[in-house]
Amino acid sequence: MRAFPAVMAAGLLLMAGVAADDPNWLANPGFEDPAGDRPARWDLGMEGRGEGEAVWQQGDAHSGDRCLRVKLSTAGDYYMGRQVLSQSVVPGALYQIAGWYRSDAEMVAHPCVYNVAPDGHVISAWEAPLTRSAAWKRFQYTWRPPEGTAHFEVQLRAQAVPGTAWFDDVFVGPAAALEAEQQAREERLRGRLASGPLALRALRPSERPRLADLAQPERWEALQRADRVSLFAARGERESFGAVVLGLGGGALTATVTDLTGPRGHIPASAIRLRWVDWVTARGNLVPDPLWERQPFRAPADGCPILWVTIAVPREGVGPGVYQGTLTAQAGGRRAALPVSLRVHDFALPETTYLQSSFWVFRHTIRNAYGLKKVPFSFYRRFLDLCLETRLAPIDAAEWHDQPLVQMVRDRRGELQVDWRPWDQYLQYCLDRGMSAFNVGDDHWMGSYFTSFPVRDLRTGQTETVQLERASQEYADTVIRFYRLCYEHFTAKGWAPRAYLQGYDEPGNDPQLLAEIARFYDLARQGWPGLRTLITTPIGFPGLEKSIGIWCPLTPHYTDDGATAARARGQEVWWYVCCGPTAPWANFFLNQPGAAHRVLFWQTFGRRSDGLLYWGINHWPDFCARTMDPLPSQQKWPAAPWNDGGRDGDGYFLYPGPQGPLTSLRFEVMRDGVEDYDALRMLEELVAAGAAQDSPELLARARRALQVTPAIYQSMTSYPADAEAMVRRRLEVNRLIERLQAH
């Protein structure tokens, strides 16, 4: 899951339309000019495997008489129309691809541009999977080719999955004028942000605005009117809002939040965290994400000054009603205030979330970032706290069994045992704070552990490395014994119901490896009968059908029929995202809007996925090596620019601040999504338990509120660009929970 793709994910869509001064480098972009029975300058054909066609179609075009039709009849590589461009490319400059398409299947339509070196080899590629669309629909993206790029090759594909796509009126070429227009808008925005009286204006819920977003005239006008904050939450919930600071200029700013006072108590200022938003660069785009608490702060050099406020509603001592307070900012003798109103609903979210999850935390990156020989638990738990506050399970991932929680010992009788102390310390801390699930191992490659593992002899105090042949009986006996010990220990602790085992990750089609996985999981379940064994593959992966308790496919590979059939066999079906899928699929990339992060949890509820997995909380590009000499402080962020490593935020939601971990806007928005999921599950349970049977109308309203499509999302790739629909539905869900609990 950490093998990043050779292709670059979809670039930032700067603005609608193609600037008039940007030349189209494509010849025959509308497929109107003939060359015999083919469109001039286009090659039609296929690459790889699979059945299908690439056809110059007459009729049903977006404009004119002709268009391109590409089709895959069976799953495979791709059929395409291709054109090699002769124009010289300037590496690092901005280029664009735009056009019109139709498609009858999700992800089948793929525009692609290869970045080609002078000797003809492909350096990398930009591509994007497009959504299903019965009508002609416009697409437009930008990218920056890497060093060494000499020219482009353009491909318009039907790719990967069976289906048909049509393309017409395509544009490929420089985006200099487009970029200049956007830069001019952003420069005007910076002037507006810096000048005028000091003022605070509220962002929309779950909004992570880029400068390009705020520079849109209608968004700027709406921001001017947002002169107060109105929130709602359950007890035990954290609710956040962002506030743009206008008129700050280059000055330093301090800010405070008062208590929130209501009819039945108050929410103290000590339960409210006030932070400011930093901006980082990902794939050439400036985006807001890290959150700092230190004051005073100055506006970022290129970004927009934003304060971020998170209110932790207590579980006790606060009754239902509206609580009011004020966010106040001061700079250079000037003062600005933003009234804050929070309605507390008369119920509490569960302390342990309904959502089973697996979000991996790496201690070796913490060690490398802070120059530690070993990460003390007192420091490690600061990272765990930020994950647990987000209601996601921080699964310890001891890469290469570095600083392992699993510690094997040989007792005085010569038998293998487990030193539970480090493992129990971590699990007790996390489970007491609501962790929903944990892996029975300290690495997602636990299947390789028992071929070579350290054992400390209690008689001698010496540590030896035990090496076992995978096919040997001793290996089998050792695996069975370890999981028998785990079963007994975690059952006694009361933790067994939250346990699962992931011993392998994305195994592929190697028959030998699949047989190895099946054997390891079968041995583990001999030691721990009924242990849930998880694998990150499509549902029903051949060779593993009888060995898996939890299937975990990528979201595009999740099917409702497959999941239903698996559950009928007594299995669970989770899903995951990582370096894919890219937009328009919901994921956690820096260049996606906040709504994409939040809606994935609504999709998790709506599609009935049993859990969500993600590969990295803190896999920082600068510190992910197995071993590393400490970097000098002047080379570390924030003294040096943040290194995203070309990932677009993939693999991390926390940042290595100088004094400890910093959370992010993405993590804050994700918590909104988990809390939405929990409220939906609470309402669902009330309906299932027969609440309000004497009120059929109320029950009907509750059932309608649980139908999250199409208002929240129409498909996995089609959902609103903001969170307004989710917020409205969440408010309705809260009110229904109150009414059903009162019956």
The mean pLDDT of 114-133, rounded to a whole number, is 90
Q: Please tell me whether residues 496 and 568 are part of one structural domain.
A: yes
Contact 219, 52 (CB under 8 A): no
Radius of gyration of the chain (CA): 27
Output the pLDDT for position 628: 85
Write the CATH number for 20. Answer: 2.60.120.260
What is the distance between the alpha carbons of residues 18 and 113, in angstroms, rounded to a whole number? Answer: 18
Output the pLDDT for position 20: 60
Q: Please tell me whether residues 334 and 217 are part of one structural domain.
A: yes
Residue 572 vs residue 74, higher pLDDT = 572
Residue 372 lies in a domain: yes
Output the pLDDT for position 719: 87
- pLDDT-derived band at 299 (thresholds 50, 70, 90) equals confident
pLDDT digits (tens, 9 = 90+) for 82-98: 999 999 999 989 999 99
Final residue of a structural domain among 619, 641, 676 = 676
pLDDT surpasses 90 at 181: no
Q: Please tell me whether residues 73 and 154 are part of one structural domain.
A: yes
The mean pLDDT of 439-466, rounded to a whole number, is 93
Q: Please tell me whether residues 279 and 341 are part of one structural domain.
A: yes
Write the CATH number for 390. Answer: 3.20.20
Domain that holds residue 79: 7-179
pLDDT surpasses 90 at 207: yes
pLDDT digits (tens, 9 = 90+) for 323-342: 999 999 999 999 999 999 99
Contact 296, 307 (CB under 8 A): no
Neighbour-count burial for 151-177, b at 16+ CB within 10 Å, e otherwise: bbbbbbbbbbbbbbbbbbbbbbbbbbe
Write the CATH number for 316. Answer: 2.60.40.10
Residue 295 lies in a domain: yes
Q: In what order do the strands lie in the sheet with 416-418?
A: 416-418, 408-410, 452-457, 463-467
Q: Please tell me whether residues 238 and 286 are part of one structural domain.
A: yes
Q: Please tell me whether residues 160 and 279 are part of one structural domain.
A: no
pLDDT digits (tens, 9 = 90+) for 225-268: 999 999 999 999 999 999 999 999 888 999 999 999 998 889 99
pLDDT digits (tens, 9 = 90+) for 8-59: 333 444 444 555 689 999 999 999 999 999 999 999 999 888 899 999 999 9
The mean pLDDT of 386-390, rounded to a whole number, is 98
Output the pLDDT for position 13: 43
Residue 406 lies in a domain: no
Final residue of a structural domain among 145, 179, 213 = 179
In the numeric block, which tokens belong to residue 247?
């008129």
Helix/strand/coil for 165: strand
The mean pLDDT of 63-82, rounded to a whole number, is 93
Output the pLDDT for position 17: 55
Q: Please tell me whether residues 502 and 536 are part of one structural domain.
A: yes
Output the pLDDT for position 19: 58
The number of domains in the chain is: 3
The percentage of the chain sitting over the pLDDT mark of 70, rounded to a whole number, equals 97
Residue 463 lies in a domain: no
Q: Please tell me whether residues 62 and 33 are part of one structural domain.
A: yes
Residue 629 lies in a domain: yes
Amino acid at the residue 474:
E
Q: Please tell me whether residues 492 and 624 are part of one structural domain.
A: yes
Contact 103, 71 (CB under 8 A): no
Flag the least confident range among 45-54, 161-170, 364-373.
Answer: 45-54
Sign of CA dihedral 600, 602, 604, 606: negative
The mean pLDDT of 378-407, rounded to a whole number, is 94
Q: Would you mind telling me the total number of residues written for the chain in this entry? A: 743
Q: Please tell me whether residues 342 and 379 are part of one structural domain.
A: no
Q: Please tell me whether residues 619 and 477 are part of one structural domain.
A: yes
Q: Please tell me whether residues 48 and 128 are part of one structural domain.
A: yes
Final residue of a structural domain among 348, 375, 404 = 348
Angle between helix 377-389 and helix 363-370 axes, rounded to 10 deg:
120
- Full-model pTM: 0.86
Residue 553 lies in a domain: yes
Residue 163 lies in a domain: yes
pLDDT surpasses 60 at 413: yes
Round to the nearest angstrom and report the end-to-end CA distance of the chain: 48
The mean pLDDT of 274-288, rounded to a whole number, is 94
